[in-house]
Structure 1
Amino acid sequence: MSISYSIKMLMDIQDPNITFEEDCVYEGTKKGHACRYVKGLLTYVPAHCDACGVINENYTIIKHGTKTSTITLPINGVKKSYLKLKKQRFYCRACQCTFSAKTPLVDEGCFISKGTQAQAIIKSAEASSKDIAPDCGVSSSTVQRVINRESKLYTGMHQTLPKNLSFDEFKYAKGQMAFTYIDAESGDIIDILPQRDGRTIRDHFVTNYSLKQRKQVKTITIDRNAGYVSLIKELFPNARIIIDRFHLVQLITRSMNKVRVQVMNTFHTSKGEDLKKYRRLKRYWKLLLKWEKDLSNTEYKYYHLFGQCLDTTVVTELLGYSSELKAHYDLYQKLLTVFKSKDHDQLEKILQEPTNPVIFNVMRTSLKTLRKHAPYIKNSFLYPFSDSRIEGINNKIKVLNRVVYGYRNFYHYKHRILLHFKFKAVEQKQQKKTHAPAA
């Protein structure tokens, strides 16, 4: 095995036109830092002239000296590595032009190897640009430039829209919210907008998609943001609006918890018996928010303020402290059961019933919200789509923002997000293929 072949294997260079000789590796410095240099030669017989395109016959193109380029390689070990590549120059007798030998190791006019750029892209899912830069031996600006260029390969051209969409927003800077929409079936990010206001969203969809394309959208899943409802009706005439069930359950759960706090505070007195009730309501709040069918009535547990007893026993005791709390709990459980069973008829029946006079304003407001969104809630029972995918994406985006310590430029941040999710998706598919059982 030749020395040239061994060095090419070590540095992952596949170009057969690059060769190395003995003693081609030596130590040196660059910008005051110790580094490692590798001398190589790039030469071949060109098939035609790069300038005029004339075919190389009868020595039409001859060798015309060399030109040395310093190419940044991926770091192997502690020191940065550079390839001192001596490129062959050629002279065309037909057009009297000169040109240099080319290699797939680097792009034309670039001095950073594709391997180094690939290393920066791989690391972009884990660290900030300033952390990636020293690991790859390049500047943070170069890292961001590579990320921006690569992310454009995964950015859609706004030619088509999927039949099922999901809308949401996330905070990317102080006081600034970005809007994102995805394919509700596949979970792929379609685009991210720098603002979530109606004008920005309207201009984006009207500019990039025709009315015919927008009419083909069948469903759009949203949270309880009322601003999206009017926009969807205007932009997507045939789309059915789906209010995510998680946000509906969250709405009534928070209302129930606020009622518990209000009732609990009435027992914050100087009386010992009242203080005992106060402590119990404060400590075991999770049991009151649980679905009653998830409460155990067979397994005894030890509760610090009750002793050995069942979940249902604790809940019954807590509800006995206040008739208002009991009324809210019964209503809360009815609504939870409706959302669990997706029974829209029962939901309408509950919402049409006269409200109990003891119901607090916070729960009345929640009931009013449910009545307002009743048609869209019905769609959430009929269709299998939810905001779970986009909520998970937004959560990862927030984690990425913390990892990179924030972005001042929104579009740099957007490119980083798109590249991160596309790269992770490809990585997961490859892992599934690797671990898939053989047929």
Structure 2
Amino acid sequence: MSISNDIRKLLDIQDENITFEENCVHIEQYKGKTCKFVKGRLTYEPTSCAKCSAIKEGASIFKNGTQTSRITIPIAGAYPTYLLLKKQRFMCQACGSSFTAKTPVVNDHCFIAKTSKVQVLIKSAEAQSIKNISKDCYLSHTTIQRVINAEAKQCKPYNQTLPKHVSFDEFKYAKGLMAFEYIDAETGDILDILEGRDRRTIQNHFITHYSLKDRMNVETVTIDMNAGYVSSIKELFPNVKIIIDRFHLVQLVNRSMNKTRVKIMNKFHTSNGEDMKKYRRLKAYWKLFLKKESDLSYTEYKHYPLFGQRLESAIVQEMLAYDEELAINYNLYQSLLRAMNQRDFKALENILNQRCPNETSTYLRTSLKTLRKHLPYTENSFNYPYNNGRIEGINNKIKVLNRVAYGYRNFKNYKNRIILHFNLKAIEQSVGKTIENETRPTAA
């Protein structure tokens, strides 16, 4: 019995009805590969017939030979491992039928151990391709995907009631194709992923899965500066307040300022030596233009190539003196950053309502026009603490999954993999309970 106990612990088998004898492990060739086979025996005294449920009385149910099953279990050591389980067969005199002993180690009519499926789920929750999981678990690609799909069904893709605060965003999952996702802005839980991001797909989804009462309970929806979402949100959620993610507001003016610097920098790309010196400086120290003025160093001297021993603030001021247009656009850019950083909506509104100087670049003019268009939603971004930080982080992980897997042709399989990846904690808890409950020995 001590040998059986040790082997059961080694193979994560909790069914005490399975026993092992000495020299039960053999190394053999199977399908052209060296594999490890562990021979075991499953037997017990049944209390009733599995076919007609007749209670055993005396010899009404008797043993009738054995049936050997080759069960795939997690690799023990360096070789693929199989459990050659010799199952006891029983004959019932009441109904004249026979049945085989059952074990919680494997499902009925299945030859893959539950522990192997658990291993697949754990590896699927990591950033690994199906091919690598298949090699590690020694299972086929189809089996791996089938296990993932079955477990993903247990994770509801959406709730019957919507949270009060929701975030919208999209991500690319194939060439020229974008998927839509929405999450709980407070917890970061993925509520669902849609194959398309067009207005019809989004509206049909929310109208189909959520009642008007549930949609009326939504207080805020956080989005990027995608104007296509605004009209759909107003129709779907009557009481909602739209929030523009602050990161996208800063990014908008940041890119405009950088394009302005490049345009002015190219003016100095001439044959003149002094102009080329200015060109090289504007090209090398582009990051200083995008920093907030308050983050520039005003006290610490450092050595900078092309400048020598200088302060950061002094370098910026010297480069701004190269061109009046650059200085005007820089000051406007910094005033916008201060208003956004301090969440001062009145200051931002005043800047947007003022007439732009003639030297303002077309890039910044376009950004100011966009900010005016989204001004009501920008005010909400200053008043509420919600942003798209969580959903952007989720998108980064989704892109890693897509890159590791070299893409997915089937969107449903891709969606199931994403759901499984981001429900790792819930899966671990459910899997732990499943193993604890299902691998207990059945009553004899």
- Range into which the TM-score falls when normalised by the shorter chain: over 0.9
Report the counterpart of residue 31 of structure 2 in structure 1: 31
1-structure distance, mates of 2:55, 2:427: 42
Report the counterpart of residue 168 of structure 2 in structure 1: 167
1-structure distance, mates of 2:90, 2:418: 44
Report the counterpart of residue 41 of structure 1 in structure 2: 41
Alignment of 1:63-212 (within 5 A): 63-124=63-124, 125-156=126-157, 158-212=159-213
2-structure distance, mates of 1:99, 1:427: 34
1-structure distance, mates of 2:194, 2:383: 30
Greater relative contact order (Cα < 8 A, sep 6+): 2
| AA partner of residue 228 (structure 1) | Y
Report the counterpart of residue 323 of structure 1 in structure 2: 324
Per the alignment, do residues 427 and 248 of structure 1 end up closer, same or farther by CA in structure 2, a change over 3 Å counting?
A: farther
Report the counterpart of residue 380 of structure 1 in structure 2: 381
Report the counterpart of residue 356 of structure 1 in structure 2: 357
- SS of structure 2 residue aligned to 1:185: coil
Report the counterpart of residue 435 of structure 2 in structure 1: none
| AA partner of residue 188 (structure 2) | G
Larger displacement relative to structure 2 (62-71 or 416-425): 416-425
1-structure distance, mates of 2:192, 2:391: 12
2-structure distance, mates of 1:335, 1:61: 85
CA positional deviation for 1:268: 1.2
Alignment of 1:330-349 (within 5 A): 330-349=331-350
CA positional deviation for 1:236: 0.9
1-structure distance, mates of 2:271, 2:151: 67
| AA partner of residue 34 (structure 1) | T
- SS of structure 2 residue aligned to 1:260: helix
2-structure distance, mates of 1:227, 1:127: 34
2-structure distance, mates of 1:189, 1:60: 55
2-structure distance, mates of 1:37, 1:199: 56
2-structure distance, mates of 1:261, 1:36: 65
- SS of structure 2 residue aligned to 1:339: helix
Report the counterpart of residue 399 of structure 1 in structure 2: 400
Report the counterpart of residue 301 of structure 1 in structure 2: 302
CA positional deviation for 1:59: 3.9
Report the RMSD for the aligned CA atoms in angstroms: 1.5
2-structure distance, mates of 1:346, 1:68: 79
Equivalent pair of 2:127/2:400 in contact (CA under 8 Å): no
| AA partner of residue 115 (structure 2) | G
- SS of structure 2 residue aligned to 1:200: helix
CA positional deviation for 1:415: 0.9
Equivalent pair of 2:157/2:419 in contact (CA under 8 Å): no
Equivalent pair of 2:158/2:191 in contact (CA under 8 Å): no
1-structure distance, mates of 2:415, 2:271: 56
1-structure distance, mates of 2:293, 2:259: 19
CA positional deviation for 1:99: 2.0
Paired-residue identity, %: 61
- SS of structure 2 residue aligned to 1:75: coil
Report the counterpart of residue 431 of structure 1 in structure 2: none
1-structure distance, mates of 2:329, 2:92: 89
Report the counterpart of residue 5 of structure 1 in structure 2: 5
Equivalent pair of 2:157/2:190 in contact (CA under 8 Å): no
Superposition TM-score, scaled by structure 2 size: 0.93
1-structure distance, mates of 2:276, 2:12: 72
CA positional deviation for 1:425: 7.0
Report the counterpart of residue 277 of structure 1 in structure 2: 278
2-structure distance, mates of 1:157, 1:103: 35
2-structure distance, mates of 1:102, 1:9: 19
Matched, 1:268 2:269: yes
CA positional deviation for 1:61: 2.7
| AA partner of residue 85 (structure 1) | L
- SS of structure 2 residue aligned to 1:411: helix
Cα-to-partner distance string for 1:396-433 (whole Å, 9 max, x where unaligned): 110111111211111111111111111167779xxxxx
2-structure distance, mates of 1:426, 1:411: 19
| AA partner of residue 294 (structure 1) | D
Report the counterpart of residue 438 of structure 2 in structure 1: none
2-structure distance, mates of 1:236, 1:268: 53
Cα-to-partner distance string for 1:31-66 (whole Å, 9 max, x where unaligned): 222211111111112233322333334444332322
1-structure distance, mates of 2:425, 2:229: 30
| AA partner of residue 63 (structure 1) | K
Q: Which runs of 5+ in 2 are unaligned?
A: 430-444
| AA partner of residue 300 (structure 1) | Y
- SS of structure 2 residue aligned to 1:370: helix
1-structure distance, mates of 2:426, 2:58: 52
Report the counterpart of residue 310 of structure 1 in structure 2: 311
Equivalent pair of 2:63/2:90 in contact (CA under 8 Å): yes
